[in-house]
Amino acid sequence: MKEFEVKLRLASIPDLSRYEFLGEAEEEDVYFQHPCRDFSKTDEALRIRIRKSSREEILITYKGPREPGRVKIREEIEFPIPSREEAEKILIKLGFKPVARIKKRRRAYRVGNAYVTIDEVEDLGLFMEIEASSEEEVINTRRSLGVEAEEEKRTYLELFLLHHGHTLRDVDEEVDESY
């Protein structure tokens, strides 16, 4: 499935009370580096996400390279898995290396046909993501929200690694075992 989204860096939490509140969750994402393919060159990502709200959900997600466009467009394949620990064991046995653990508090809203989240990301700050089924819908939703904020083109993984003095290119040589 194609993902169409824009990420905005926020100074404060905007008032979204007039929109449908979908819920709040704590999310923890563990990102993995491929043993033979440099994800920094192919612009791909593989992660396991634990989402805790009223129940716990564990997902594995592949994100393909970003495509040209006015918003971030990339293939996303995601599905639930029964056990984070077992999935991590399999990936590590296949040579994948865990490179980052990113934690965030996420509040989700329905704005028209778009999915809007407010993310408080540990060590990185406050963000809004707007995701919809088309580039035009993302742009129109952003306009209708009227939020004045700087667009952030980098992924949370790129921001996290930069914050910790790494790039995607050097994670193979120097993996922080505490990820």
The enclosing domain of 83 has a CATH number of 2.40.320.10
- In-domain check, residue 15: yes
pLDDT value of position 166: 75
- In-domain check, residue 83: yes
- In-domain check, residue 20: yes
Annotated active-site residue in 31, 62, 109, 156: 31
Active site residue 179: no
Q: What is the mean pLDDT of residues 83-99?
A: 95
User: Binning pLDDT at 50, 70 and 90, where does residue 176 land?
Assistant: very low
Count structural domains, the chain: 1
pLDDT value of position 170: 58
- In-domain check, residue 59: yes
**H helix or E strand, kind and range, residue 87:** helix 84-93
Tokens of 119: 């993310």
| For residue 132, pLDDT beyond 60 | yes
Strands 72-80 and 56-63: antiparallel
- In-domain check, residue 176: no
With vertex at residue 121, the alpha carbon angle to CA 119 and CA 124, rounded to the nearest 5 degrees, is 125
Asked whether 82 and 58 are in contact (CB, 8 A), the reply is: yes
Taking the mean position of all CA atoms in its chain, how far away is CA 145?
21
- In-domain check, residue 134: yes
**H helix or E strand, kind and range, residue 139:** helix 135-145
Whole-structure pTM value: 0.89
- In-domain check, residue 178: no
Domain that holds residue 88: 2-167
- In-domain check, residue 39: yes
